[in-house]
């Protein structure tokens, strides 16, 4: 060796010490650790044999030099930076992700950037591998908990920007920092105001979950070279842990999808139930024979077309199709019951009038309009038939098969029979 370990210690304590290289601070300053370790490794390579390396590492000055680096403190600083940044995004108010992000929500964007930051060259230190891996799993688990909490929120009809942040009452929330802070407190949790979520935000959550699952294999490829640096080869265990996280994300999707489908179905049927108003439009109003579908059908389907066109670049088509089928199956079943009730009511009214006219002995075989045209009851039947036929056409425009929509076949048969009756009674 060209110089003794004492010389090295003298350099490190006098020159490096003067520069405060052992104090953790800004990212660029933390490179001093890497530079110093590179210096030590180059020093070891100057040794003529493995025995010389062992003697170097056993020297008190070598141990003194290494002890000056307080890695746990360094990790705590970085941990708090990452955890604090992530928790700031996992709030009641869901902010949009930056425009350049592949994610929709800031919470998801920050989760992915936090994962990447753990294994970035600026932060990664070989001696902290186990801590960084643990932090990675904590970040993934925290995001999963956050998503599950979102699935419990009631849906608001307001747009995402109109949903205001509620007053904070001091309740405790799950945090990535739990278990890593010295004082978690022991007081009882207080009740927080109910926070709502919009349908669009729920769609964004599902899109982000799908995106994050796609990117976890990419995270594995980022981690692998870092682990290889320390001789770690059991990548199957790392892969299995990430697959577990993927499974936890997948498990969140059904409840979110059910919530979206239910909200869309409620919105859709909110218009379809306008079929109840059809008798009022034709009975004793002398309206013309209907030739087009009612406007309520277009209104009912508008949210579905908006879902398909507005989110096709964020969601896989299979997910959208699943939601459309679920929504239409749910709302069409209710629509079938509504139309059936209306037709039954029309039939009862018609039979009641026939009996009344028979009692007065003024009964025509089939009641007709004032000018000998279609009766009001048949106009109602025809209008409902036109509405259902148009609904079937729009279902196909959504890229679905009407046969895949539960209750639609029965509904189509119901109004077809009513239409046949209406047209058959024409003079």
Residue that wins the pLDDT comparison between 237 and 193: 237
Token output for 89: 């995004």
pLDDT at position 37, please? 66
Q: Is the pLDDT of residue 191 over 70?
A: no
pLDDT (tens digit per residue) in 199-219: 999 999 999 999 999 999 999
pLDDT at position 121, please? 84
Q: Report the candidate in 113, 143, 140, 119 with the shortest Cα–Cα distance to residue 131.
A: 119
pLDDT (tens digit per residue) in 294-317: 999 999 999 999 999 999 899 999
The model's pTM is: 0.79
pLDDT at position 168, please? 39
CA–CA–CA angle 56, 61, 65 (5° rounding): 105
pLDDT-derived band at 392 (thresholds 50, 70, 90) equals: very high
Q: What is the chain's mean pLDDT, rounded?
A: 83
What is the rounded CA–CA span in Å between residue 48 and residue 319?
64
Class of domain 260-358+374-425 (CATH, top level): mainly alpha
Per the CB < 8 A criterion, the answer to whether 59 and 94 are in contact is no
Buried b / exposed e across 142-171, counting CB within 10 Å, b at 16+?
A: bbbbbbeebbebebbeeebeebeeeeeeee
pLDDT at position 356, please? 80
For the chain, the residue count is 427
What is the rounded CA–CA span in Å between residue 234 and residue 2?
39
Domain boundaries, the chain: 21-69, 73-155+196-233, 260-358+374-425
Per the CB < 8 A criterion, the answer to whether 11 and 21 are in contact is no
pLDDT at position 57, please? 75
pLDDT at position 117, please? 95
What is the rounded CA–CA span in Å between residue 294 and residue 299?
10
* 25: number of Cβ within 10 Å: 11
Q: Is the pLDDT of residue 322 over 70?
A: yes
What is the rounded CA–CA span in Å between residue 28 and residue 17?
17
pLDDT at position 91, please? 92
Q: Is the pLDDT of residue 139 over 70?
A: yes
Q: Is the pLDDT of residue 120 over 50?
A: yes
């Amino acid at each position: 060796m060209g110089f003794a370990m004492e010389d090295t210690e003298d350099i490190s304590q006098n020159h490096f010490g003067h520069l405060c290289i052992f104090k953790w601070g800004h990212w660029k300053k933390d490179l001093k650790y890497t530079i110093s370790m590179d210096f030590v490794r180059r020093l070891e390579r100057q040794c003529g044999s493995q025995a010389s390396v062992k003697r170097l590492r056993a020297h008190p000055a070598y141990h003194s030099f290494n002890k000056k680096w307080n890695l746990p403190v360094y990790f705590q600083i970085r941990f708090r930076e990452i955890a604090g940044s992530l928790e700031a995004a996992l709030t009641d108010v869901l902010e949009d992700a930056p425009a350049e992000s592949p994610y929709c929500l800031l919470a998801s964007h920050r989760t992915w950037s936090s994962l990447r930051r753990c294994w970035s060259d600026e932060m990664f230190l070989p001696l902290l591998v186990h801590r960084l891996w643990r932090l990675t799993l904590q970040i993934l688990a925290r995001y999963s908990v956050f998503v599950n909490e979102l699935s419990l929120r009631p849906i608001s009809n307001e747009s995402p920007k109109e949903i205001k942040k509620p007053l904070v009452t001091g309740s405790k929330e799950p945090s990535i920092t739990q278990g890593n802070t010295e004082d978690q407190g022991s007081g009882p949790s207080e009740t927080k105001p109910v926070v709502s979520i919009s349908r669009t935000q729920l769609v964004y959550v599902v899109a982000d979950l799908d995106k994050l699952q796609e990117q976890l294999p990419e995270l594995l490829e980022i981690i692998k070279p870092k682990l290889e640096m320390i001789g770690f080869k059991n990548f199957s265990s790392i892969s299995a842990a990430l697959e577990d996280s993927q499974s936890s994300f997948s498990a969140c999707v059904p409840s979110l999808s059910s919530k979206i489908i239910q909200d869309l179905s409620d919105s859709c049927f909110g218009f379809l139930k306008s079929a109840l108003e059809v008798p009022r439009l034709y009975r004793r109003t002398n309206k013309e024979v209907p030739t087009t579908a009612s406007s309520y059908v277009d209104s009912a389907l508008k949210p579905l077309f908006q879902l398909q066109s507005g989110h096709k670049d964020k969601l896989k088509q299979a997910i959208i199709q699943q939601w459309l089928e679920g929504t239409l199956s749910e709302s069409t079943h209710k629509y079938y019951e509504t139309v059936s009730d209306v037709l039954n009511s029309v039939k009862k009214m018609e039979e009641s009038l026939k009996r009344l006219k028979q009692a007065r002995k003024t009964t025509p075989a089939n009641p007709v309009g004032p000018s000998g045209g279609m009766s009001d009851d048949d106009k109602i039947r025809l209008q409902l038939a036109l509405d259902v036929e148009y609904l079937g056409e729009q279902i196909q425009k959504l890229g679905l098969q009407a046969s895949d929509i539960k209750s639609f076949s029965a509904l189509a048969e119901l109004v077809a029979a009513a239409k046949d009756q209406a047209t058959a009674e024409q003079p």
